[in-house]
Amino acid sequence: ETKIITEMPATFGIGRKATNAEIKAWDIDVRPDGKGLPYGSGNATEGKVIFTQKCAACHGKEGEGGAYARLVGAMGDTVKAKTIGNYWPWSTTLFDYIRRTMPYNMPGSLKDDEVYSLTAYLLYRNKIIDSTKNMDAKSLPKVVMPARQYYVDDDRRGGPEIR
Amino acid sequence: ETKIITEMPATFGIGRKATNAEIKAWDIDVRPDGKGLPYGSGNATEGKVIFTQKCAACHGKEGEGGAYARLVGAMGDTVKAKTIGNYWPWSTTLFDYIRRTMPYNMPGSLKDDEVYSLTAYLLYRNKIIDSTKNMDAKSLPKVVMPARQYYVDDDRRGGPEIR
Amino acid sequence: ALVKTTTGQFVPAAVAKPASAPPDPTKVQGPPPGAVGTRSPFEQLAKKTSDTSSRTPLQSLYGTITPSDLHFERHHGGVPVIDPTAYKLVIHGMVKKPMTFTLNDLKRFPSVSRIAFLECSGNFRSGKQEMTPQEICGLTSQSEWTGVMLSTLFREVGASPKATWFLAEGSDAAVMTRSIPMGKGWNDAMIAYGQNGEALRPQQGYPARLFLPGWEGNTNVKWIRRIEVSDQPFMTREETSKYTENIKDGKIRQFSFDMDARSIITFPAYPVQLDKGWVEIKGLAWSGRGKILRVEVSVDAGKKWYPATLQEPVLDKAHTRFRFLWKWNGNETEIMSRAIDETGYTQPTLQQLIDARGTDMGGYHLNPITAWIIKRDGSVLFKPEKWK
Amino acid sequence: ALVKTTTGQFVPAAVAKPASAPPDPTKVQGPPPGAVGTRSPFEQLAKKTSDTSSRTPLQSLYGTITPSDLHFERHHGGVPVIDPTAYKLVIHGMVKKPMTFTLNDLKRFPSVSRIAFLECSGNFRSGKQEMTPQEICGLTSQSEWTGVMLSTLFREVGASPKATWFLAEGSDAAVMTRSIPMGKGWNDAMIAYGQNGEALRPQQGYPARLFLPGWEGNTNVKWIRRIEVSDQPFMTREETSKYTENIKDGKIRQFSFDMDARSIITFPAYPVQLDKGWVEIKGLAWSGRGKILRVEVSVDAGKKWYPATLQEPVLDKAHTRFRFLWKWNGNETEIMSRAIDETGYTQPTLQQLIDARGTDMGGYHLNPITAWIIKRDGSVLFKPEKWK
Ligand code: HEC
Ligand code: HEC
Ligand SMILES: [Ca+2]
Ligand SMILES: [Ca+2]
Ligand SMILES: [Ca+2]
Ligand SMILES: [Ca+2]
Ligand SMILES: [Ca+2]
Ligand SMILES: [Ca+2]
Ligand SMILES: [Co+2]
Ligand SMILES: [Co+2]
């Protein structure tokens, strides 16, 4: 006999269990605590070489900006643009973003070592780490970004107040 | 000083007076009382000639139907189709409709005399008038259509009742 | 894929269907923002056309708005091409001052928008089991209409309080005409020039049409060019030879304007292949007489009825989305819905309509309950009923 | 007229513009009903495009629905081409059972529809007097969205009550990611697959997107492929380097999700040439925090304010059409509107925003009152204000 249920059932039994393989293929995010960072490493010297080949055409010879965004501008510099040095609050974001979407014309094409190297290079160019410092799953999350201290969560509280 | 009016003004002063010429050009409707019928006249004999030329290709040699609607079927005939003879309640409608939109491939191309003639022809073919009767602004509204008596205004009254 | 447009041309449905999507869309830049968006080439939506009409694919749509290019069509002289700068509306007859309005004039008056359905009163087909909602009742669609209230124009021209009817006339090749009671004109009639945010589509009356909420489609004269205010109806061909219906005792019903309450389940419906388990039964309900109060669903061929959930906001004279959660156990059954509107009217069965109107019942204003047969193999079939 | 589509192709706007309309459309049969309707060739609607966005022509639209092909666009990796049969959404992380849903799966769950706006938080331009509503704030549009509540999917996967954030990830070339509080996910977040009655348009996330009523556009991740449930935010590039704003004392505001109340007069607005006499001032008002309670209009540069009429139904987090009848006497003046929402918030002036956020105020979440200057000659000009 047909069963009529007006409340939502606990589950609908629609969809299937995700396989580990399909999760792994897509689970590319990196959190500030380093969760998600892959095996591998790189430093600014290695990064400079790759940057010249794959990034400089759009972001300038050394990241000073060109057709697209300026990436370099240490905190306190006269640079007006928002940069990794003066605006980015978390170092892990750099790895995550470069890996998922740069270079713009070949998104998702970089090897993890290359991403570590480019990350190191851009941190170095923004005067956050020195040129010899190796970036890997352990060291990168420890890099404290200069702009971090300025970030506050949304302070608008709703209601009449204008903020 | 700016005047704020929250109610609707009596008129908005938008639009212009219609000229008599533009009303006349478009005011082609014909009412059951004959209002709107133009000068002119015609009979079934004249109508048959025109029908053969301009209508028969679609509606059959003598209005018995072809690619498009059957137009002939006197009240009480075995004809199943709804026709002028068994369904149309007003004679004036015939003049109005033929004039505004027939022949389908050359709508609005008929002269008033032609429309009177075609109207007479179709009334004759539906056994409503005889073949010699002249149709004009005076006689046409007087033609009583057999189906007239069956027409009732919408008898649904809203509410729960199914009608 | 090519589709036939209203001008009879064959054009690409949107952009041409790409041979295939890239295996990983994250690895290739997509095209940048454009001036005019497109429909996905994977979505092939089309009205079902005949020589005189085209039907909305109700079973393929979500929510309540009908995409403008899928709004049903029913014309009597095709779709005219009208230059909006040459357009004018003349109002004359029993008025203090006969007036002419340009399209721009119409847009300068106070405006109003409302979401409402528009349904052809001939919106019923039956006959075989292999019929989709589109084929059964695809001559109903819904838009957000914008325009000027006809009452505003009646005030402007000084329509006589003694007037009882007006004639609305279109500028298509049918020079379509209908007689409308002045009461409707003063009440909620609109001269609409907007549809779903943009100008009316040519197929819906561009640049302006009469819109009569809840009234049979044909009265909503498209491409309107003239209104004549009168003290009697004109008895045009459309309101006599057509759009009237045989009822009991040999009578013929005329001026049957209101569209009675109706509903249809659009999922699951032919040609869906249903899976066992939880099913959200979905459909549309509407009434030309007001708001939908309730929709009831039966999953046992009409023995028991349960209230469906109505999507808020429930609007006056509007398609209302209803939903009903059901766990199908795989047995053969029949599902159906019935709409109840705020006047207390309950959508009838075909038999109730026959009982009320007789076996000579005409083909307009047929709003019977639609039943779908669900077979053990999951196929869903329309249950056609005969009366002639 | 040719228009640029999102795929960068130039195609006819609708059907090609006919040389001219026939002198008398009643004398020639028009084309019959078609499978897909068309826009009148006399209506040339287009978004205004840049490399990264395209803007809705607010001044050309009626009512509240944005035609889907005119919905604003803002992408970070272009518009991906996605095969709906290959589409899947993975939900994992702090869940009892990580799951994968096909598009068909998503459509089988209980569904919901709502009419709501979507606005980019960078929706503000200024600078010169010759600016249209489209140029000033065309990055807001409205649709009827249909989809499954995210809460339904969270229940299905058994999302942990300890989870506080989730990551939403797109399958475009930007692999767009945003961290969203679980509260929003459980509350009114949707995975939308329907837009204005049909499938989402590719430009709006086909075949499925996250829809977060009232929240800044960028968080409404399009082409969504993955949701990871977590106990902390991920601090993606979009929620740090972008979509954050400088406020007072050198602070940077992050996770500023809600779109505050705003309105704009869309008529009369640049480049309209106004005639003396009665004018219906029209515009749109909306708030990401609830319903619009009231819109006030000033016709004397902000000295006096009068309540406008709101078009019913006023919906939660939705573009609301307001109208105000005014008789312009031909003198130079300034007109403007301000929205008040049900939380009691009144749309501020730019100066009020500067006072609250400081002169380093960033470019997101700018919702100042927009003023239009009406000149004696009837020309209408935007009144730009500077703060940097
Ligand atoms: C073909 C042009 C192009 C190339 C090559 C390119 N980029 Fe970019 N880059 C862009 C564009 C465009 C953006 C902005 C994307 C957006 O916001 O949607 C961007 C943004 C960035 C940003 C974020 C800037 C910010 O302030 O948020 C970083 C970091 C970056 N690129 C790094 C790189 C690196 C590293 C490479 C080389 C591996 C690279 N880019 C190669 C075009 C390019
Ligand atoms: C090219 C085909 C064609 C030609 C020629 C044509 N008609 Fe018609 N006629 C039609 C069509 C099609 C209809 C139905 C129109 C509709 O309902 O939209 C029709 C309908 C009618 C009707 C209404 C029938 C009803 O029962 O409601 C009448 C009367 C009529 N035609 C008379 C004429 C006359 C008189 C002529 C010649 C002067 C004519 N027709 C020429 C195609 C044609
Ligand atoms: Ca992860
Ligand atoms: Ca290495
Ligand atoms: Ca007349
Ligand atoms: Ca004669
Ligand atoms: Ca109709
Ligand atoms: Ca955005
Ligand atoms: Co009727
Ligand atoms: Co924000």
Report the CATH number that the domain containing residue C101 is assigned in CATH.
3.90.420.10
Note if the bond before D161 is cis, omega within 30 degrees: no
Q: In terms of DSSP bridges, do strands C262-267 and A41-42 run parallel, antiparallel, or are they unpaired?
A: unpaired
* Cβ atoms of residues C77 and C71 within 8 Å: no
Query: Is there a contact between A108 and C27 if contact means CB atoms under 8 Å apart?
Result: yes
Which of C3, C27, C28, C65 is the best mutation test for D, with the most CBs of D within 10 A?
Answer: C65
Q: In terms of DSSP bridges, do strands C165-170 and C177-181 run parallel, antiparallel, or are they unpaired?
A: antiparallel
Q: Which amino acid is at C372?
A: W
CATH code of the domain in which B116 resides: 1.10.760.10
Which of C232, C253, C294, C388 is the best mutation test for B, with the most CBs of B within 10 A?
Answer: C253
A abuts B (3+ Cβ pairs < 8 Å): no
Chain C, nearest residue to B155 by Cα: C253
Q: Which residue has the higher pLDDT, B7 or A21?
A: A21
Helix (H, G, I), strand (E, B) or coil at D49: strand
Q: Give pLDDT, residue C17.
A: 54
Q: B148: which 2 tokens?
A: 């007239």
CA distance A71 to C9: 52
Q: Are residues C186 and C113 in the same domain?
A: yes
Radius of gyration of chain C (CA): 22
CA distance C379 to C375: 5
Q: Are residues D153 and D266 in the same domain?
A: no
CA distance A119 to A103: 13
Query: Is there a contact between D113 and C62 if contact means CB atoms under 8 Å apart?
Result: yes
In angstroms, the separation between the Cα of residue B144 and the nearest Cα of chain D is 30
Q: Are residues D232 and D297 in the same domain?
A: no
User: For residue A66, is it within any domain?
Assistant: yes
Q: List C-alpha distances in Å: A133 to A41, A52, A56, A118, A139.
A: 10, 19, 22, 12, 9
Among all ligands shown, which has an atom nearest to the Cα of C255? 9
Q: Give pLDDT, residue A69.
A: 96
Q: Are residues D202 and D269 in the same domain?
A: no
Reply yes or no on whether the pLDDT at C331 is more than 90.
yes
Reply yes or no on whether the pLDDT at C18 is more than 70.
no
Beta-bridge partner residues of A40: none
Task: Please tell me if the CB atom of residue B118 comes closer than 6 angstroms to any atom of ligand 2.
Answer: yes
pLDDT tens sequence across C117-163:
999 999 999 999 999 999 999 999 999 999 999 999 999 999 999 99
**Residue A11: its chain C contacts at CB < 8 A?**
none
Per-residue confidence in pLDDT tens, chain B, 163 aa: 344 555 689 999 999 999 999 999 999 999 999 999 999 999 999 999 999 999 999 999 999 999 999 999 999 999 999 999 999 999 999 999 999 999 999 999 999 999 999 999 999 999 999 999 999 999 999 999 999 999 999 999 999 999 9
User: For residue D345, is it within any domain?
Assistant: yes
Q: Give pLDDT, residue C7.
A: 58
pLDDT tens sequence across A110-163:
999 999 999 999 999 999 999 999 999 999 999 999 999 999 999 999 999 999
User: For residue D51, is it within any domain?
Assistant: no
Query: Is there a contact between A32 and D235 if contact means CB atoms under 8 Å apart?
Result: yes
Strand stretches in A62-146, DSSP E: 135-136
Q: Give pLDDT, residue C1.
A: 47
Reply yes or no on whether the pLDDT at A2 is more than 50.
no
Q: Spell out the residues 6+ positions from residue D107 whose beta carbon is closer than 8 angstroms to its own.
A: D148, D193
User: For residue A94, is it within any domain?
Assistant: yes
User: For residue A95, is it within any domain?
Assistant: yes
Q: Are residues D196 and D100 in the same domain?
A: yes
Q: Give pLDDT, residue B1.
A: 39
Domain that residue B117 falls in: 41-142
Q: Are residues D199 and D285 in the same domain?
A: no
User: For residue C232, is it within any domain?
Assistant: yes
Q: Are residues C126 and C196 in the same domain?
A: yes
pLDDT tens sequence across A83-104:
999 999 999 999 999 999 999 9
Q: Give pLDDT, residue B8.
A: 81
Reply yes or no on whether the pLDDT at C388 is more than 90.
no
User: For residue D197, is it within any domain?
Assistant: yes
CA distance C264 to A67: 56
Q: Are residues C209 and C356 in the same domain?
A: no
Average pLDDT over chain C reads 95
Q: Give pLDDT, residue D386.
A: 85
* Helix, strand, coil content of chain D in percent (nearest 5): 15, 35, 50
Domain that residue C294 falls in: 262-382
Helix (H, G, I), strand (E, B) or coil at C174: coil
Helix (H, G, I), strand (E, B) or coil at D321: strand
Closest CA to D347 of D299, D302, D280, D282: D302
Provide the number of structural domains found in chain D. Answer: 2
Reply yes or no on whether the pLDDT at C191 is more than 70.
yes
Q: Spell out the residues 6+ positions from residue C344 whose beta carbon is closer than 8 angstroms to its own.
A: B159, B160, C293
User: For residue A51, is it within any domain?
Assistant: yes
User: For residue B5, is it within any domain?
Assistant: no
Among all ligands shown, which has an atom nearest to the Cα of C365? 9
Please state whether D371 falls in left (phi above 0), alpha (psi between -120 and 50) or beta. Answer: beta
Q: Are residues D92 and D237 in the same domain?
A: yes
CA distance B69 to B65: 5
CA distance C326 to B74: 55
Q: Is D155 an 8 Å CB contact of chain A?
A: yes
User: For residue C388, is it within any domain?
Assistant: no
User: For residue B30, is it within any domain?
Assistant: no
Q: Give pLDDT, residue C90.
A: 98
User: For residue B63, is it within any domain?
Assistant: yes
pLDDT tier, C5 (very low <50, low <70, confident <90, very high otherwise): low
Q: D349: which 2 tokens?
A: 């002036």
Q: List C-alpha distances in Å: A117 to A43, A93, A113, A131.
A: 5, 14, 6, 10
Q: Are residues D147 and D212 in the same domain?
A: yes
CATH code of the domain in which C299 resides: 2.60.40.650
* Cβ atoms of residues A143 and A90 within 8 Å: no
pLDDT tens sequence across D315-330:
999 999 999 999 999 9
User: For residue B10, is it within any domain?
Assistant: no
Among all ligands shown, which has an atom nearest to the Cα of B103? 2
Q: Are residues D278 and D327 in the same domain?
A: yes
Chain A, nearest residue to C309 by Cα: A6
Mutate to test the pocket of ligand 1, among A102, A113, A135 (most ligand atoms within 8 A of CB): A102
Query: Is there a contact between C42 and D18 if contact means CB atoms under 8 Å apart?
Result: no
Q: C181: which 2 tokens?
A: 């009671």
* Cβ atoms of residues C177 and C234 within 8 Å: yes
| Low pLDDT (below 50) residues in chain D | 1, 15
C abuts B (3+ Cβ pairs < 8 Å): yes
Query: Is there a contact between C326 and A104 if contact means CB atoms under 8 Å apart?
Result: no
User: For residue C186, is it within any domain?
Assistant: yes
Q: What element of type H or E holds C326?
A: strand C320-328
Q: Are residues D217 and D174 in the same domain?
A: yes
Provide the number of structural domains found in chain B. Answer: 1
CA distance B27 to A158: 60
Q: List C-alpha distances in Å: C16 to C41, C44, C67, C72, D78.
A: 7, 11, 20, 24, 18
Query: Is there a contact between C61 and D197 if contact means CB atoms under 8 Å apart?
Result: yes
Q: Give pLDDT, residue A5.
A: 52
Query: Is there a contact between B31 and C91 if contact means CB atoms under 8 Å apart?
Result: no
Task: Please tell me if the CB atom of residue B128 comes closer than 6 angstroms to any atom of ligand 2.
Answer: no
User: For residue D253, is it within any domain?
Assistant: no
What is the DSSP secondary-structure string of B17-82?
EPPHHHHHHH-----TT-TTPPS-EE-HHHHHHHHHHHTHHHH-TTSS-SSS------TTSS--S-
In angstroms, the separation between the Cα of residue D236 and the nearest Cα of chain A is 6
D residues 323-342 near B, CB within 8 Å?
A: 325-329, 331, 333
